[in-house]
C-alpha cells in the first residue's frame, strides 16, 4: 500500500483528494489502478505525468518498484531545453 500525492492540477480529477491510498508494487500497477479508480486521470497519465519515488523522478520506467513506505508523488512531466 502506498500513499500517492497528486499535484494540484490533478486533484479535481480525483474527487479533490490530495493523497490517494493505492495497493501497488510498481509504478505501472499504481498508474493502472489510479486510472481505473479515477477515469479522469487516464488522459493525464498518458504522457503528462512523472512519478517521484523517494525524491527520484521517473518519467518512463514504469517497472520501477515502489518500496514499502516510499514517498510517492505524481508530478508534471516537464519539458527540457
Partner 1 sequence: MSFDSAYQSRKFNSVGTRPLRPDGVDKVTGRARYGADFNMPGQLVARVLRSPHAHARIKSIDTTRAASLKGVKAVVTAADLPDLTDGDASLFAILDNCMARTKAMYDGHAVAAVAAIDEKTAKAALKLIAVDYEVLPHVVDVDEATRPEAPVLNETVFTQGVEPAPTTPSNVANRSEFGHGDIAAGFAQADVIVERSYKTEQTHQGYIEPHACVANCSPDGTADLWVCTQGHFVFRQTCSDLLGLEVSKLRVTSSEIGGGFGGKTHVWAEPVALALSRKAGRPVKLVMSRAEVFRASGPTSATSIDVKIGAGKDGTITAASATLRYSNGPYADMWAELGAMTSFACYDLENVKTVGLEVLVNRPKVAAYRAPSAPMAAFAVESAMDELAAKIGMDAVDLRIKNVAKEGSRSSYGPVYGPIGIGPTLEAAKAHPHMSAPLRKNQGRGMACGFWFNFGGQTCTDLNVNADGTVSLAVGTVDVGGSRASLSLIAAEELGIPYEDVKAVVSDTATLGYNDMTDGSRGTFSTSMATISAARNAIEVMRKRAALMWEIPPEDVYWEDGHAHAAGTRHGNRAPLSVKEIAAEAANTGGPVAGHSELVADGAGVSFATHICDIEVDPETGSSRVVRYTVIQDAGKAVHPAYVEGQYQGGAAQGIGWALNEEYIYGEDGRLQNPGFLDYRIPVCSDLPMIDTQILEIPNPNHPYGVRGVGETSIVPPLAAIANAVSKAVGVRMTHIPISPPRILAALSDDKGS
By CB under 8 A, name the binding residues for partner 1: 5, 7-9, 12, 50, 52, 54-61, 63-64, 71, 73, 75-76, 78-81
**Rounded CA gap, 9 and 30, in Å?**
18
Give start and end residues of each alpha helix (H) in 1-81. 27-37, 42-45
Q: Which three cell numbers stand for residue 1?
A: 500500500
Whole-number minimum distance, CB 18 to partner 1, in Å?
Answer: 11
Nearer to partner 1, 1 or 63 (CB): 63
Whole-number minimum distance, CB 36 to partner 1, in Å?
Answer: 22
Nearer to partner 1, 21 or 76 (CB): 76
Q: Starting from the edge strand earliest in sequence, which strands make up the sheet with 19-22, in order?
A: 19-22, 2-6, 72-76, 49-53, 56-58
Whole-number minimum distance, CB 50 to partner 1, in Å?
Answer: 8
Amino acid at each position: 500500500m502506498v500513499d500517492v500525492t497528486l499535484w494540484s492540477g490533478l486533484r479535481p480529477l480525483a474527487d479533490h483528494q490530495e493523497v490517494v491510498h493505492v495497493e501497488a508494487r510498481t509504478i505501472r500497477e499504481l498508474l493502472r489502478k489510479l486510472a481505473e479508480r479515477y477515469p479522469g486521470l487516464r488522459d493525464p497519465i498518458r504522457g503528462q505525468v512523472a512519478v517521484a519515488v523517494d525524491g527520484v523522478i521517473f518519467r518512463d520506467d514504469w517497472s520501477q518498484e515502489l518500496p514499502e513506505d516510499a514517498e510517492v508523488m505524481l508530478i508534471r512531466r516537464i519539458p527540457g531545453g
